[in-house]
Structure 1
Amino acid sequence: MGMTRRRFSALALCTPLLLWGCGESSDKQAAATPPPTPTDEQATLLIYCGITMIKPIMAIGKLLEQREPVKMVYTQGGSQDLYLSLKKSHEGDLYLPGSASYLERNMADGLLGNTVHVGYNQAAFMVKKGNPLKVKGDIKELLREDLSVVICNPESGSIGRETKKILTDAGIYQQIFERATYLTTASRTLNAALKKGDADLILNWRATGYFEENKALFDVVDLPASMAIPKKLVLSKLTFSRHPQLAEKFMQLAASEEGQQIFRDYGFLDNKADIR
């Protein structure tokens, strides 16, 4: 690639993006029945959601809006950034990070309550459609001198933490960190780097390669499951939720067969997948 490599570190936290329930929907999941009539007593359910999972979560939220007098609101961003936001504000009802490790590391704060398993995330390479540079499913492809590589900051998004773990286990993290064209903050900005031509190769959550806006532009190159181990996705109710019963209904719907079909439609492994 003829581009001059730029080297900088995205140290600033990614500002979470607020989305209202009407902002995006899934045509696959649209229902014919009208939603309940809004009233002055209508609840608002706020979900903090990692970027990679926002599409299935919004599709499930649309179903809940059609069945309950509730308005869904979403904040999306890097998993740790989202946690810091909810911790500071003490507002909201549910939290879905890109890996269960974010729940484990923050559980002592007492803000995370009941949980439900909703599927699995898995890392993979992504390249331009047709794989013109013939990238193989080998982690050491990241060392190729003819490739521009962009990786995620491990201090921000869940894919950054997963990238660091995979590369550390392979013994090449420092090499890749030093030769990367630049660091970015989350799965969405990794995909943007590939689209813009800043990167020939990224390591990202594989489900994003199957999103409607990406699947015609990207090819997914899978890594061995022994290296890119599927990561459990766990949805947690926040202990300060103002609408705990509605939050539980959302959790039940997300974990049901109906909710799991939505996750499968967006390229995720479901909560019954055999990952041995």
Structure 2
Amino acid sequence: MFKKIIKIFILTLMVLSNSYGNNKKELIFYVGITMIKPIDLLAKEFEKEFNCKIKILQGGSQDLYNSIKSSQIGDLYLPGSLSYRTDNLKDGLLLDGQFVGFNKLSFIVKKGNPKNIKPSLEELINEELSVVLGNDQSGSVGLATKKLLEKFNLYEKAIMNATFLATDSRNLISAIKENKADLTLNWYATIFWDENKNFAEVISLDENLSNKSKLVINLLKTSKNPLLAKKFMDFASSQRGRDVFKDFGFLNENELKEFNKVTF
């Protein structure tokens, strides 16, 4: 299955790369699923301002990085966790980075919380609940879940209790909407999507449990338009970019005030 996904990405990118010779400059972004909506909105504004075309490829953060390595095509990479930058810097593909917000783990349950689920990690090993977790091999939410639960010696028990593992944040929220799960551990921002608001709700975890992950957009060594790509990075971290990321749940008021002090 994984090889099939990579082949699809490579074929798609080969088609996209053919358009690089057009007069209108084009950028290719690799974006983790949870961040698609703010990036798509900012991309549309950026296209009008700079008369360019932006193509966005979405998926699990690890799958996207594997595609970048295989295709050697693309301009920017926004994974769902800083670890995808720090762990892969050695490959030399990721150059400059810009902080744009945070991903935060939260419980996502059915609208109205019919199972009366509490904000306790112990709920993930409750055998009376249908629990769906993220796969750490494909997406950032699964990797963050593993790191959090290992810290409290709950990972193996939670995995054994899980009904199944989902590849990414979108499939996690779909499990709730399709009545395949009572409880998921997912990124907080997914509840801000219009298509999810009527079906699911968030149960916020305590700060020491939320496993807040920094979001950093990365310039790729493979970029054919690095100056234009850098302009988008600046735009994404500008006041307008901050406002958009806040609207989609990636920043709160306190984090906005501390924005310029965040290091990575």
Q: Normalising to structure 2: TM-score of the pair?
A: 0.89
Match of 1:148 in 2: 130
Which runs of structure 2 are paired with 1:20-169 in the superposition (5 Å)? 40-169=22-151
Counterpart of 2:185 (choices 195, 203, 207) is 203
1:239 paired to 2:239? no
Q: 1:66 to 1:215 in 2, by over 3 A?
A: same
Distance 1:272 1:239 in 2: 30
Distance 1:129 1:193 in 2: 13
Partner amino acid for 1:161? L
1:263 paired to 2:245? yes
Is the Cα–Cα contact under 8 Å of residues 127 and 161 in structure 2 kept in the other structure?
no
Is the Cα–Cα contact under 8 Å of residues 30 and 57 in structure 2 kept in the other structure?
yes
Match of 2:232, SS state, is: helix
Match of 1:23 in 2: none
Per-residue CA shift, 1:204-253, capped at 9, x if unaligned? 00000111111111110011111113110000100120001110110011
Segments of structure 1 that go 5 or more residues without pairing to the other structure are 1-10, 20-38
Q: How many correspondences in the alignment?
A: 247
Segments of structure 2 that go 5 or more residues without pairing to the other structure are 13-20
Match of 2:15 in 1: none
Is the Cα–Cα contact under 8 Å of residues 242 and 256 in structure 2 kept in the other structure?
no
Partner amino acid for 1:193? A
Is the Cα–Cα contact under 8 Å of residues 59 and 168 in structure 2 kept in the other structure?
yes
Q: 1:126 to 1:58 in 2, by over 3 A?
A: same
Is the Cα–Cα contact under 8 Å of residues 14 and 77 in structure 1 kept in the other structure?
no
Partner amino acid for 1:234? V
Distance 2:95 2:154 in 1: 37
Q: Percent identity?
A: 44
Q: Normalising to structure 1: TM-score of the pair?
A: 0.85
Match of 2:5 in 1: 15
Structure 1 residue 97: deviation in Å? 0.4
Deviates further, 39-48 or 234-243: 39-48
Is the Cα–Cα contact under 8 Å of residues 31 and 61 in structure 2 kept in the other structure?
yes
Distance 1:147 1:273 in 2: 39
Q: 1:52 to 1:110 in 2, by over 3 A?
A: same
Structure 1 residue 184: deviation in Å? 1.3
Structure 1 residue 274: deviation in Å? 5.1
Q: Root-mean-square deviation (CA), in Å?
A: 2.1
Distance 1:205 1:14 in 2: 26
Q: 1:222 to 1:60 in 2, by over 3 A?
A: same
Distance 1:140 1:274 in 2: 32
Structure 1 residue 15: deviation in Å? 3.3
Per-residue CA shift, 1:164-194, capped at 9, x if unaligned? 1111111111111111101110001111111
Partner amino acid for 1:101? S
Counterpart of 2:202 (choices 185, 210, 220) is 220
Q: 1:203 to 1:274 in 2, by over 3 A?
A: farther
Structure 1 residue 129: deviation in Å? 0.5
